[in-house]
Amino acid sequence: MYNIAVASSDGINVDLKFGEAQKFLIYGIDENIVLIEERSADTQKNEDTCPSKCSEKKDGCSGSGGGCGGDEGISQRLDVISDCRCLLCKKAGFKVQKELEKRAITLFDIECPIDEALKKIANYYRLLDNNQKFSRI
């Protein structure tokens, strides 16, 4: 069994950027796909990591890392999903991508229904883990 973290605003669609997610839905994958838990991704923001101009932007700091969390915010958010094999989110910045690589967590930038994404990714990993050829997934 392995875990997949999902950034979703409604529990139905993968529709949030990494830095926008207030929580991550954690799904367990084996023979079945099961929602295991919701984990809070709320990081404490302070003036050192979140300039005042960030509060004026609806989507947080564009490009500064983790929705105004900076490097520390990224690290805290990734600690929340450190046991996951991959992360599904609408988009993640360059710093997040690099940190995910360091932690061997695969990023899927995707925007679609959660169940559709999980089925495709579960099939992908099943084929990968069993050294089978990929056809159209």
Q: Does some domain include residue 134?
A: no
Calculate the alpha carbon distances from 91 to 46, 50, 65, 66, 129 in Å. 24, 20, 12, 11, 26
Predicted structure pTM score: 0.78
pLDDT tens, residue by residue, 28-41 = 999 899 999 999 98
**CATH number of the domain where residue 49 is located:** 3.30.420.130
Q: Give the structural domain span for 79.
A: 2-129
Give the C-alpha separation, 67 to 116, whole Å. Answer: 27
Residue 111, amino acid = E
- Report residue 50 as tokens: 């979140």
In a domain, 124, yes or no: yes
pLDDT at residue number 44: 59
Q: How many domains does the chain have?
A: 1
